[in-house]
Structure formats: structure tokens, C-alpha cells
Amino acid sequence: MSAPAADLREWIALLERENELVRVRAEVDPDLEITEITDRVVKSGGPALLFENVKGSKLPLLINQFGTERRMCLAFGVERLDDVAARLEEVLELTPPQGLMDKVRKLGTLKSIADSAPKSVSKGACQEIVLEGDAVDLDALPIMRCWPLDPAPFITLPAVITQDRETGVRNVGMYRMQKVDRRSTFMHWQVHKDGRADLLAAPDGRIPVAVALGLDPVTAYSASAPLPKHVGELMVAGFLKGSAVQLVKCKTVDLEVPANAEIVLEGWVDAADGGLEGPFGDHTGYYTPPEPFPVFRISAITMRRDAIYPSIVVGKPPAEDEWLAKATERIFLPAIRMSVPEIVDYDLPTAGAFHNCVIVSIRKRFPGHARKVMHAVWGLGLLSLTKAVVVVDEGVDVHDYAEVFFRVCANVDPKRDVVLADGPLDQLDHASVLPSFGGKIGFDATAKGPDEGAREWPSEIVMTDEVRSRVDARWSELGLPERDDRGTVQNGRRVTAGWRGPRPVRR
């Protein structure tokens, strides 16, 4: 695999070389039509799309750049997403060196971390064109209205940059932005988001905001990553890219933005300046209802010449954001293990809309261990918003949903093994009785012992290694096609076993 792309244009060129992108030259309408085209392509595992002739705008629109596992791996320059996690694990497991060789071994990693910090530069391509005052016009951008009940177009793939006024800590987040008029949008800062925290912490209730559109894929991904507030998204992006993110000072607000961005929106958000945002067809598969959110007043738009506008469609899964979530799932496994070391692996099912279900395998050591892990998950960052936690033993493949369902059905006594609790939920969850707060459920699908009130646990049916080896050796003699007993993997999950065709992708 090659090194990660330096900017969006290099990324598009890479996708094109890898036959992962199609240029669409026919005119397309950003009002619903691009959504329908993209949704069909995404759900069939199709390519990234560069719409070169978008009705009402001179700018091309890139979409579905993250829509498959292969493209996510290309984005990070790895063979598997778990390889990205391995790099991050090196950092998370750093401890003070004990001896000379330990110091030498860790020196490279420490230097890599130091080199990953964002670096300020005097000028950037994102400011080749500068529009201020009356020249600010969002109508020039091919902003999409995605679903029929959406009341307006939404910017859906932004990197929104704010700063804690007291500590100076920068936050980069991905929040949808409903267009209000040619110079303003809503800012969808939910109750659990750092952007909202920065606004509430401002002494005068007003903060500068910058929005970067059209970044290299790793930096764009970092805006969606659920990092702790004290961990800089741009530093992580630099570490994963192997080169620091270059920043240039904004023209009208006291913030810095990635110099390689295609488009930058600068402005202010005031807590006293708001209105009803929504509804919006969201990744839950339902419309989230109108709610009050603050307005982003734009003071300047800067951009590259011949800028490219990025977008993404969310909706009923699977959608393009599936692989942003799957990347997060794999990349942050080491961080989760740091907090809960008994966790072997975990899976966020796409059908669970990322925050509705977590499947966890653990090294079980004592009675009630599965319950301990459930509550630990409900206390871990944004995993605290999870509605359902399923815990299985360490030998169970959490990505094989048929196997997990078998364990739930076979190993769970509903009276003994189902845990009901309540706590914070995602603000987008429409099923809870109260907004952002409601019920949670845990399933202990591990094997039980007498110390957990179980009768003698039966032995699991497993063929002997000797017989399996003997049949393996004789298979061609039997005149039968080669069979894959484990099944194939599609979109990160195993499906029914069958006669083997192309080799499946393994986790």
C-alpha cells in the first residue's frame, strides 16, 4: 500500500488509479437526485463518485469516497484496518523506558509523536480565493438536500473547528449543518458533543468557528473520530498519515484551518442566536425531529481555485458512513483494551446504527464478569450511549453475527442473564421515553458455572483434530468441491457458509 494521500486531489487521483472512482459528466440535481444515485451505488458496493456537472453550481461534488473497506484501507495506506490499530497501540502502550535498549526502541515512536503535532504555515491553497461580506454565498456550493422531508440542503461532511477559550485546546468535529440562507447555517451541536461544550464554556456565549471542507481522507476521518477532549484530532491525523497537518490562520476569525482544504467557512456562533433545525434523514434510518440549535453566521468563504465539494449521504444502513464507523471500531480497540483489558474484541453492527448495539468478547475470570464489562462499556466515552451490550466468551467471533446469535439463544437464561439499566442515550435516539436518556439492556451470553447459579454446563460439540485432519487429507479423493466451513465475509460480517469461490476477506 502507498502512503496516505496529502490532499483531496491526490486522494481522487489514487482512487482513479485503483479503479475506485467514476466521473459522472451528465448533469445531476443536488436536490434528492444525487442521494438516490449514491444510495444505489453504496448499497451495491460501488465506486466513489465525482459528479462534474451539478445543477446550480460550478463546483464538482465528491461522494462515496469512504464507502467500502478497501477504500478505507487505501485512505490509511494499509492492508487491513487492524494495521492502523496496531500503530495506535504502540503509542497507547508507551511506558517510561527501563533500560538503554528500551530507550532506543521507543525513541522512534516518541519522535513520530512529536512530529505529528500540527504545524503553522504562512499561506495555504485553501485561501487562493477569499470571499468576504456580500461576496459570501453558500448558493455557489452544491450543497445537497438528501431526503424528501429535509427542509433544506445540509452540509454533511465538514470538519468543524472550535477552541476552548480558557484552555486553548482545539476541537475538530463532524456535525451536520442545515443551510439557513446564503450566509448562515445551523450548527448541530448535540448535548454530548465537544463543540457545544466549547460554546457553553465561552464567558460571553460567543465563539469563533471555522469549517474545513474537502480534506485528505485521514484528516477528514479524524473529525469523526470519538477522541477524548484533551487528545487533538489533528495530531492523531498527523500520526496516522506520517506527516504533520499544516495549518494556516483564518482571514476573519482567530483560528487555524488545514491548509490543504478545498473550501473553508469562517464565522461565529452565539448561544443566544438560534432556531429550529431539522427534521433530517439520519443514520438511524429515521428522520430526527426539529430541535433548537445555534446558528453559524459566516464572515468569509475561502477556497482553492477549481474547488471540489465533498458530501456524504446517511440514511438506512448500510450507507457510506458504515466504513467510517468500522474504521473507528478497529482503530480504537487498543484504547478500549487500555480501559477494559479483559476485552478481546468488539463489533458495532451496522444495522445497530453504531450506538444501539455493541458485541464484546471477554476473557472471563470470575462470576459476574460479563456484568462488570457491560457497565464498563456504559462508562466509556461515546460508548456510554450504547443501548444494548452483548457479552460472549473469548473464543467467539464477534463479527460472525450468526455465531453470536447462537450464543445468545443457547447460553442466556432471560431471568438470570439479562441486565436492565438506564442512562444517557444518543440525542438522535427516537425510541427513548426522554430525550438523550432511557433504558439499556445487557445480555450475558457467556458460559456459566455453578458460582453463577447454573447447572453443570454441557460440553460444546467439536470434532477431534485427528478426524478433521484425516478428512482434510482425503477431501480431493472424495471428488467434492472445496468447501469453506466458516462462510464468507461481506461488509465486515460473516454470512452463510458455502462452496468456495474467491477467497473471503478475513478480519
Cell of 114: 512529536
Pairwise CA distance, residues 238 & 115, whole Å: 8
Q: Cα dist. 492→122, 329, 484, 505 in Å?
A: 43, 11, 17, 8
Pairwise CA distance, residues 297 & 300, whole Å: 9
Pairwise CA distance, residues 26 & 33, whole Å: 12
Pairwise CA distance, residues 189 & 199, whole Å: 9
Show the beta-strand stretches assigned E in 402-461.
418-424, 437-444
- Catalytic residues, which ones? 282
DSSP, collapsed to helix, strand or coil, labels residue 306 as coil
> How do strand 129-132 and strand 357-362 relate by DSSP bridges?
unpaired
Show the beta-strand stretches assigned E in 58-192.
61-63, 119-120, 129-132, 154-155, 159-163, 170-173, 177-181, 184-186
Residue 205 · residue 270 · CB < 8 Å: yes
Residue 283 · residue 321 · CB < 8 Å: yes
Q: What's the residue count for the chain?
A: 507
Pairwise CA distance, residues 428 & 156, whole Å: 16
Residue 491 · residue 504 · CB < 8 Å: no
420 CB burial (10 A radius; 0-12, 13-18, 19+): exposed
Residue 115 · residue 108 · CB < 8 Å: no
DSSP, collapsed to helix, strand or coil, labels residue 277 as strand
Secondary structure element (H or E) that encloses residue 42, with its range: helix 33-43
Pairwise CA distance, residues 279 & 160, whole Å: 21
Interior angle at CA 298, CA 130 and CA 173, nearest 5: 100
Write down the residue that cell numbers 456484568 correspond to: 371
